[in-house]
A and B are shown apart, each in its own frame.
Chain A
Amino acid sequence: MTILEFTAIVAIVSFVAGLLGSLTGLGGGVVLVPLLTTLFHVDIRYAIGASLVSVIATSSGAAASYVKEGFSNIRIGMFLEIATTFGALLGAFLATRIPTSALAIIFGVVMIYSAFVSRKPRPRAQRSLPPDPLATRLRMNGSFPDAEGLRFYNVQNVPSGFSLMFGAGALSGLLGIGSGAVKVLAMDQAMRIPFKVSTTTSNFMIGVTAAASAGIYLSRGYIDPGLAMPVMLGVLAGSLLGSRILVKAETQSLRLVFSGVILVLGLQMLYKGFWGKI
């Protein structure tokens, strides 16, 4: 394959991944690495570097439209970013030290978990939870516009949310993904943040988390301009288009299909990791 053909095909695949990732809210990064390694036989380290770059692009690109909606909570985001950025540093250091077969196995497990989580309905946020002393001290409780007016919420379980976020950051640095599935677990399940707030806040955090491992990836030579260019441009264009044509009615079936794709790719990564084909 010549560089021109390679660039064009990778750009198209990345565009589709970015579009589906944005439409389903599952993110495009998680399918990119397995697609690059299996379809295009790209070394997993180059694939992770390119994917990480595209994660920053989608997070920052979507931020402007999220901000206008007024759901995101910047204090929750900034506090948890302490955990995710330290985690991302650890993950990026580990990524340069552990064998690629182990990377593939961890990747497969995370994908299967993501596919599983995306099929479960998100927990309905209970109303009027009692205020948690630590969350109140950290000024995390807030409100957001709802159909019935301003809705108030009280954040719970800050320590377990913080620890889970450290894990999410480590996975992000290790695998070059946004690790949205773990962030959802931390914010929806542990901290009981209403999902409109958690989704937009998590999007804000993903860019900062990815930037924390990007420097290490760059200095280790994981970010190849020839590969990162079509991936970043394709994913960015796809996700920007996706955020404009978001049709609520059809996302449910699309989510099911996309999570099926993630599951299959995850199993494939596991297979490749265990049988040393990577």
Chain B
Amino acid sequence: MQAAQATARPHSFQPQPWRDRRIEVMLGNLLRTGVLLSAAVVLCGAGIYLARHAHEPANYRVFRGEPSDLRTISGVLHSITHERGRSLIQLGLLLLIATPIARVVFSIVGFAIERDRMYVAFTLIVLAVLLYSLLGSGAGV
């Protein structure tokens, strides 16, 4: 049906991405699942963190930067066994950052199914920027 409309209005209408709306709905659900999962991990970390540090004074007035094991992906993964609360929160936040990246990856698949090479290329550019920020800027190691 959409193909018929596209020929009837060659200049004003292109098929709405994606023809298969299931991909779109799947992407929406993927994002929601990712967010709820990360919120659950953050909540677990919060429980441990508050149980241990609830009565210490809070001070964010002076910027010190985070210790190195909370600044990198590998650092967070390694430190989960030692200092669990804050590392677990940080792991949840990493999951959160990963959800939009997962959406971009799935979009590449969606455009590939549609054989839209131009948009596969655009999406690969976006993915490269995202991976550079997460892995190339020093957060990866």
A1 at the interface (CB under 8 A from B): yes
A78 at the interface (CB under 8 A from B): yes
B53-67 at interface with A (beta carbon < 8 Å) = 53-58, 60-67
A131 touches B12 (CB 8 A): yes
Among B12, B107, B118, B137, point to the contact of A74 (Cβ < 8 A).
B107
- Residues of chain B lying within 8 A (CB to CB) of residue A88: 133
B123 touches A53 (CB 8 A): no
A3 touches B17 (CB 8 A): no
Among B18, B57, B65, B126, point to the contact of A220 (Cβ < 8 A).
B65
B97 touches A211 (CB 8 A): yes
A66 at the interface (CB under 8 A from B): yes
B63 touches A213 (CB 8 A): no
B14 touches A139 (CB 8 A): yes
A2 at the interface (CB under 8 A from B): yes
Closest A residue, CB atoms, query B55? A2
Expressed in whole angstroms, the Cα–Cα distance for A42 and B59 within the complex equals 8
A236 touches B90 (CB 8 A): no
A225-B25 contact, Cβ under 8 Å, with A7-B50, A89-B133: no
A214 touches B133 (CB 8 A): yes
B89 touches A229 (CB 8 A): yes
B86 touches A226 (CB 8 A): yes
B125 at the interface (CB under 8 A from A): yes
Size band of the B side of the interface? 35 or more
**B129 nearest CB across to chain A (Å):** 4
- Residues of chain B lying within 8 A (CB to CB) of residue A211: 97, 100-101, 130, 133-134
A143-B89 contact, Cβ under 8 Å, with A3-B56, A220-B65, A221-B71: no
A61-B35 contact, Cβ under 8 Å, with A2-B54, A225-B45: yes
B32 at the interface (CB under 8 A from A): yes
B31 touches A63 (CB 8 A): yes
Size band of the A side of the interface? 35 or more
A64-B29 contact, Cβ under 8 Å, with A57-B35, A207-B100, A215-B97: yes
- Residues of chain A lying within 8 A (CB to CB) of residue B42: 229, 232-233
- Residues of chain A lying within 8 A (CB to CB) of residue B122: 78-79, 82
Against A, the Cβ 8 Å flags (1 = close, 0 = not) of B110-134 are 1000001011001101100110111
- Residues of chain A lying within 8 A (CB to CB) of residue B9: 152
- Residues of chain B lying within 8 A (CB to CB) of residue A42: 60-61
B99 touches A219 (CB 8 A): no
A43 touches B62 (CB 8 A): yes
Among A63, A128, A143, A224, point to the contact of B60 (Cβ < 8 A).
A224
**B130 nearest CB across to chain A (Å):** 6
A73 at the interface (CB under 8 A from B): yes
Chosen A-B contacts, 18 in total, with CB atoms closer than 8 Å, are A3-B56, A60-B32, A67-B24, A68-B25, A68-B28, A73-B17, A78-B107, A79-B119, A89-B133, A141-B13, A142-B14, A143-B16, A208-B126, A215-B133, A221-B67, A226-B49, A226-B53, A229-B45
Beyond A5-B58, A56-B97, A232-B96, list 14 extra A-B contacts (CB 8 Å): A53-B96, A57-B39, A64-B31, A152-B12, A154-B11, A207-B103, A208-B101, A211-B100, A214-B97, A221-B67, A225-B70, A228-B93, A230-B46, A233-B46
